Structure 1
Amino acid sequence: MVTALAVGVPVASPAHAIANGDQVADGKYPFAVKITATGIPTPEGGKRNSSCTGGLISPRWILTAAHCFRDAQGNRVARTVADKTTATVGRADLTGDDGIVAKIVQVKQHGEADVALARLDRPVTGITPLTLNRAKPRKGQKVRLVGFGFITANATRTPNRMRTGRFEVTSVAATEMGLSGIAPKKNTSPCERDSGGPYFTEAADGTAVVFGVVSRGPDCPHLGPDTATRVDTIATWIRSVIKNDVAPSPSPPATTEPAARASEAATDGAAPQADPVASYSPVLLAAIPAAAVGFVALLLAGTRKNRRRSGHRRRR
């Protein structure tokens, strides 16, 4: 089997797009990225076009597969090789105008794992990036995959709308893991040009955590596993590349009531004021001389009497 993957030359057996997947609604999974390369050099001296999938992990950096960036000889390179390489972010329907299209201006190869990081020429705002997983995946764990690849093995054009499917971790190796489709069909599987697509989990608060990156597998659609690179084993390297590239925090709203704000800050989170009567303890009372105890008792009785009278007045 020969599969033409991503932004390089045709190679044997590497990875893919989502066959038998669901179409993704507009605005869903905005961190998904389509990487488009126009004018890739070929060994014969010509040019061709191709694409990959990726995931936004910070305002300027995309996580994808290393083999998405190769020269005419098929060697992985830490640079773009096409005449033009762009990233479409936040756009489930590629014919629409949601999100942004930015140029990829820098590539960092991991060197061992089939993972690369691509830097954009401008930051993406208004989209929450994927969070990097730090824990070892578990066999049987359920994850989701999104991609912009082909939906059949013999396709010649990628679909205009992003696809998604559910997968289960079937094996866990030192740096990779196997995943098999479970929904919407048992043979839901990544296809050509889904390379670099993120396998992720979804939390109740909307946080998406990326566990793996599509690397290689059989022609689609198929039963059984594809291979993905584990993110937890390379998370330290990823952080060393993107460093402090994080989304800016929004500025707090202005206010014209500094005194009120200071008062709220002073009382926010403070323990409720205790009732003075309830705060007396038997130990403390035992330490008070008898005369003083009697005096205190008279004071308390007067206080309770006044409270009852005051209460009657409020009910009238």
Structure 2
Amino acid sequence: MTKSPRGRIGKRLGTVAVAMILGAGGAGAYTVAQERAAAETSRPHAAAKPVLSHELPFNAKLTAKDIPQLDGSVRSGACSGSLIAPQWVVTAGHCFHSIVGTPDSGPPRYHMAVTLGKLKDSDPGGETAQVVDVRQSPVSDLALAKLDHAITDIVPLALPTAPPTVGEPLQFAGWGSLSSTVVKPSDHLKRGTFTVAEIHEYTLGAAPTVPRTVENSPCPDDSGGPFFVSADGVTGTLVAIVNNGPACPQAGLENVARLDVVVDWIHRQMGLASR
């Protein structure tokens, strides 16, 4: 049975056609260190550094207020994500779509703000950016979102260098709804713990380690939220992201999109964009 996406931005359409991907061809080597060095060189000197959370500063809250509808109206929507390079966030593919709901690459059709470095909306400081470009994964409901400026005060999550293993512990973070029926993003970061229970070609099944609640597991608007490993709560490695099911907060495995199978594709996209 088809499951509903975790975000309200659009519907999950399964595998995204390669033809929709911008710049999916080969490119030279690219490293986060190169982008960070370039950003530091070009970034204007700020009067003061922003106040950032000491916990999970890489987590991202994505919000839009002007998503166009077929009847000419607009609506709001939200997703979650994580910083993986100074100017790039990983989130769910269905967070960016056309007016008829098909996943979109390129400049987004609506204004998507990204807030990083906070645990609560009311926290001071943080970093805010706008999404200016989107790349849809050719194999899963996952997208790369390019920011309008580099975030150099936060250490991005690292990309995996090996496949996940059954039994591997994972942490979850997201800004999703606290209800499956009254859908709006939370005013604080939700967190939970899971383990890898099943591994599939492009996804994995994550089992909760404690009974599910709306505070510790994905709900609507958690789409794109990271499943990651971290020893210090500040840095870590991104293993997978939220895309769909099961319903919130019912029992069952969480279906999440693997990062290890798209690492080369991610490097190519960022490398092409930096030219």
TM class by shorter-chain length?
0.7 to 0.9
- Indicate if the aligned counterparts of 2:219 and 2:248 stay in contact, CA closer than 8 A: yes
Distance 2:3 2:164 in 1: 30
| Match for residue 161 of structure 1 among 161, 185, 188 | 188
- Indicate if the aligned counterparts of 2:205 and 2:254 stay in contact, CA closer than 8 A: yes
| Match for residue 263 of structure 2 among 231, 235, 244 | 235
Distance 1:87 1:223 in 2: 30
Deviation at 1:45, TM superposition (A): 2.2
- Runs ≥4 residues deviating over 6 A: none
| Match for residue 70 of structure 2 among 34, 37, 43 | 43
Q: List aligned pairs for 1:163-182, cutoff 5 A.
A: 163-182=190-209
1:66 matches 2:93:
yes
Deviation at 1:233, TM superposition (A): 0.7
The CA deviation string for residues 39-69 of structure 1, in whole angstroms up to 9 with x for no partner, is 1011222110001001100100001111111
Give the residue type in structure 2 aligned to 1:125: T
- Indicate if the aligned counterparts of 2:55 and 2:233 stay in contact, CA closer than 8 A: no
Deviation at 1:3, TM superposition (A): 4.5
Q: List aligned pairs for 1:254-273, cutoff 5 A.
A: none
Give the residue type in structure 1 aligned to 2:255: T
Q: Secondary structure at the match of 2:228?
A: strand
Is there any run of 5+ residues in structure 2 with no aligned partner, and where? Answer: 15-51
| Match for residue 217 of structure 1 among 231, 245, 267 | 245
Deviation at 1:96, TM superposition (A): 2.5
Q: List aligned pairs for 1:282-301, cutoff 5 A.
A: none
Give the residue type in structure 2 aligned to 1:27: H
Larger radius of gyration: 1
Give the residue type in structure 1 aligned to 2:243: S
Task: Determine which structure has greater relative contact order: mean sequence separation of CA pairs < 8 Å that are 6+ residues apart, divided by chain length.
Answer: 2
Q: Secondary structure at the match of 1:233?
A: helix
Deviation at 1:186, TM superposition (A): 4.5
Q: Percent identity?
A: 29
* Closer, same or farther: CA 103–149 of 1 in aligned 2, 3 Å: same
How many residues align? The count is 234
The CA deviation string for residues 259-307 of structure 1, in whole angstroms up to 9 with x for no partner, is xxxxxxxxxxxxxxxxxxxxxxxxxxxxxxxxxxxxxxxxxxxxxxxxx
User: Residue 169 of structure 2 aligns with which residue?
Assistant: 142
Give the residue type in structure 1 aligned to 2:81: G
| Match for residue 56 of structure 2 among 7, 13, 29 | 29
* Closer, same or farther: CA 79–94 of 1 in aligned 2, 3 Å: farther
| TM-score, structure 2 normalization | 0.78
Distance 2:3 2:256 in 1: 19
Distance 2:97 2:209 in 1: 32
Is there any run of 5+ residues in structure 1 with no aligned partner, and where? Answer: 14-24, 247-316
